[in-house]
Amino acid sequence: MSLESSTVPRGRLLENLQPSGSFKSRGIGNLMTQAAAAATGPVHFYCSSGGNAGLACATSALSLGQKATIVIPTIITELMKGKLLDLGVEVHQKGRNWAECDKYMREELLANDPMGIYVPPFDDPRVWDGAATMVDEIRDQLEEPIEGIVCSVGGGGLINGLMQGVEGRPWQDKKPAVVAVETKGADSLNMTSIATSLGATRVSEQTWKWSQHSSETMKSLVVSDADAAISAVRFADDGRHLVEVACGAALAPAYRGDLRRVLGQGMSDEEWGKKNVVIVLCGGSNVTLGMLNEYRDKYRGESSIKI
């Protein structure tokens, strides 16, 4: 599949095929497995989530035979809430955004449970360790040099893991760049982006540190809701995978041609055509065929991406 007019060999890391439907299974699964192993008895996991972290927590709790409570903000769809309930976990819906529901969970629920274990959706080294395993898989499956790894950004757990993996491993040639893609409006207190699973009101402190790192490995792009949504629609047609808008954000730079401007500036078509770029399809469960059809009708006139 060609994602740009100038064809480039690309790897696609299909995190949508993880047990919970997203990359969150890596980091949250790692954290919960370690926490359960260290406990002397039964535990009760608590996670505040835009949806996908909650699904990862619920899926892992089911595998570990432990209880879980998930707190989601009011902007989360009934679709995602229903998927959590189907897994048999307790679900609370509080607050307009992740920060507010996290505060409620910590102060009203976790504080009153002596068996409670906090499962942060993105801001914990064990979460980053899990996400960093993607870099090992990319190295094992693609020949170096790898020009770049592209991912969407919400709270920062995914990009922290990728940066940790890239900076902490030896490379035959140069290190790959890590391209962080955000959607406009997904970082505001009054959520305006339809990519609700990117809805942390801030990135983690570690993400900010990586963005200021002297290696300049991290690159940054911002795309519109329209381009993220139409990219998800295009990928359903091209790649035969359903991914939510948050994942479409990572695909948008490829469909729009931004990757060449960021990673291949000054290269000839021949040079750029030989580069390896990996797009992390972070997945996400907030998607249906009906939603994609709605996006097609609503955003096709607003997006720069043709369908």
**pLDDT tens digits for range 4-25:** 444 444 788 999 999 999 999 9
CA distance 226 to 208: 26
Q: What is the reported pLDDT for 213?
A: 73
Report the pLDDT value the prediction gives residue 214, as an integer from 0 to 100: 67
What's the whole-number mean pLDDT along residues 242-269?
A: 91
Peptide bond into 145 cis (omega under 30): yes
Could you tell me the fold of the domain covering 24-118? Answer: Rossmann fold (3.40.50)
pLDDT above 90 covers a percentage of the chain that reads 64
Fold of domain 10-21+124-299: Rossmann fold (3.40.50)
The tens digit of pLDDT for each residue in 30-49 reads: 999 999 999 999 999 999 98
Q: Where do you find CATH 3.40.50.1100 in the chain?
A: 10-21+124-299, 24-118
Per-residue pLDDT at 191 = 39
pLDDT digits (tens, 9 = 90+) for 101-119: 999 999 999 999 999 999 9
What average pLDDT does range 260-282 have in this prediction? 90
**How many alpha carbons fall within 13 Å on the CB side of residue 211?**
13
For the entire predicted model, the pTM comes to 0.86
Query: Is the pLDDT confidence value at 189 over 50?
Result: no
pLDDT band at 2 (very low <50, low <70, confident <90, very high): very low
Structure tokens at 149: 């790894």
Task: Select the more confidently predicted residue: 6 or 209.
Answer: 209
- Res. 3 pLDDT band, cuts 50 70 90: low
**Residue 185: which residues within 8 A CB-CB, separation 6 or more?**
191, 192, 193, 225
CA dihedral over 234, 251, 232, 184, signed as positive or negative: negative
Q: Mean pLDDT over residues 292-306, rounded?
A: 93
- For 23, 176, 285, the CA distances from 75, given in Å and listed in that order, are 21, 36, 15
Query: Contact 97/191 with Cβ under 8 angstroms?
Result: yes
Q: Alpha-carbon distance 62 to 83, whole Å?
A: 13
pLDDT at 46: 98
